[in-house]
Chain A
Amino acid sequence: MLHDTLRFFPGGDRAVEVELGDGMDFTLNFTVHRLVAAVREAGIAAIEDIIPELASLQINYDPDRISYEDLTRAIAAIYEEMGSDVSGSLPSRLVTLPVCYFDEETTACIEDYRKTYPDKRFDPDLLCELNGLADRAALARRHSGTEYWVAALGFWPGLCSLLPLRPGSRITAPKYNPPRTWTPKGAVGIGGALCCVYPDRTPGGYQLIGRCPAPIYDGTQRLPAFRDSLALLRAGDRVRFRPVTAEECAWIDAEVAAGRYEHDVVEYQIFSVDRYLDWVKAHGEKA
């Protein structure tokens, strides 16, 4: 749900959080990205960094070049001028990621956590129960049966927040409490209503369902997909997961290790927001 107006929350003397609404949905996140694009277009020189997120954005600024008051006034004016209609088309890459569901590595990671916290339900079983899914096969079908919208990147270099685009494809889950101290690189997780792929071996809190052998971050830029960027994905891309067997997963691991793996990235598509929202309406659910 969008708020009537922007809400500004100062974060110290060099940052401001701009909240557009309350919730995790495509329409709200798309509006965040429209506002970010409009703010960039305005070229306010004192802005150092902008972080688009699900329902808000953070602006880091140099307070010796622009005051908090002038900055927030400028942002509010840009938002007003922009209008609130969610419409238009944008180039959006479609990235297909292989995923080996319920693989050995993430299973071992869950078991490792359960040694310390034996009451922790095994992640896939917990997800099935909370989302009314009969078994793991149904969980994998639900997860791989939709395109995802890359809503934001953050927390760690290249880590993406993915929102399912197909109505009825949401899988929701609580986060680990306390968080894990480690997660296998490439683990695919569900937290809240979001899906993510862990770009590296990092701490984490999402429930794990499998592993993606195709890297989404490459600090050494060895593979062709990382020629222009260390992170594979950017906001506004779409992701689809392709289930693979343990054998194919091992083959991809070997291709990656040899520096040969080519990611499946389709670059020629235009994403029409209007047609998408019409399609959602036809499926009888709000995006």
Chain B
Amino acid sequence: MNARCITVLKPGLETTVQELPGRIGYLEQGFPVSGPFDKWSFRQANLLAGNPRDTAALECQFLGPTLRFDCDATVAVTGADMRPKLDGEPAAMWRSLPVRAGQVLELAAAYSGARGYVAVSGGIDTPVVLGSRAVFHMARVGGQALARDQVLPLGPPPSGAGDILAVPEASRPPFSTDKTWQIEALAGPNDDWLDPASVEMFFSADWSVQAKSNRTGIRLSGPQFAFAGRALDKSSDHGQDPSNIIDHGYPLGAVNLAGQTPIILVNDAPSTGGFINPFTVASAAFWKLAQAKPGDVLRFRRIDREEAGRLRAALETVTSAGVAVRV
């Protein structure tokens, strides 16, 4: 039998290895946390492949890869619908797929959603860099996006693997069917730099996702912001533009305002910088940002910390082991 591995026949569009919880403890040196953008789909893929839910797996963006299995394994495909095929035959998503050595899994362009996940029993066993296998492609930390003919080592198969499991439709992430997404967000840390009317405007306007969006940020188009006194009358150390602030930390999910362009800072975003963050997306809603396509509309719903906690608890339930049931 061959060593447990996968060969990349076609890499897809910036397909990367991701792992949870990501690179923790290195933000102070400028390393982003990275990790899967849609944690909901990622964890369900791992559970279906028989892995602990945070195991290293592949994140595909817009156009998926073609992979050859060089050993028998259990694989699962979740997230964006990239019309997976196994040896040319349509293969089911959201359920365990037993594959034999030599079989080829082919993912196409995303039909709905933007990011697909491929988990394999045993997980992807690339080297751990600064505590994680998560790839920060732009700075080549933990590796880079997959390349043609690359061989990905797999970890030892989990014990008791081989059960055929499925995630019922009701427990899967509900993708938008009308190109609009409701995104739960909290005010702060710098909402006091905006005119109160602009804070209200943010939560009522339609925000369109720009094509120039990736794992570092989701750029939005929409109405213009007006600023509060704090932004207009400040010490020169902050910088000239009303949206400039003395360099500070950037929370994950922050809606960063550079000039008049809001950019939602996501997994590979800069750790710090000199622009204000008037709003922050609730952590349980990040997955929707991963699945929104360019041109889709985001509408932000203002919530408080308590509701963010309830959303986290709900997400925890649908990404825990019991969600994948035997079929």
Contact = CB atoms under 8 A, between A and B. Distances in A.
Interface of A: 9-17, 19, 22-24, 48-58, 60, 63-64, 68, 152-159, 161, 172, 174-175, 177-178, 191-194, 199-200, 219, 229-231, 234-235
B271 A51 contact: yes
Contact of A24 (B29, B189, B240, B246): B246
Interface size class of B (residues with CB under 8 A): 35 or more
B30 A155 contact: yes
A152 B27 CA distance: 11
B145 interface: no
Contacts of B141: 157, 219, 230
A159 B274 CA distance: 14
Interface of B: 24-31, 33, 130, 136, 139-141, 185-186, 188-190, 234-241, 244, 246-254, 259, 270-274, 277, 280-283, 305, 308-309, 312
B302 to A, nearest CB: 12
A194 B272 CA distance: 14
Contacts of A13: 186, 280, 282-283, 305, 308-309, 312
Contacts of B312: 13, 63-64
26 contacts: A9-B189, A10-B280, A11-B189, A12-B252, A13-B283, A13-B305, A14-B251, A14-B252, A17-B251, A51-B27, A53-B247, A53-B249, A53-B272, A55-B246, A56-B248, A58-B248, A58-B250, A60-B27, A154-B270, A155-B247, A157-B29, A161-B247, A174-B239, A199-B30, A200-B139, A229-B29
Contacts, number: 168
B1 to A, nearest CB: 33
Nearest to B286: A12
A174 B240 contact: yes
B27 A154 contact: yes
B188 A154 contact: no
A177 B242 CA distance: 13
Task: Please give me the 3 A-B residue pairs with the lowest Cβ-Cβ distance, nearest first.
Answer: A58-B249, A154-B272, A11-B251
A76 to B, nearest CB: 17
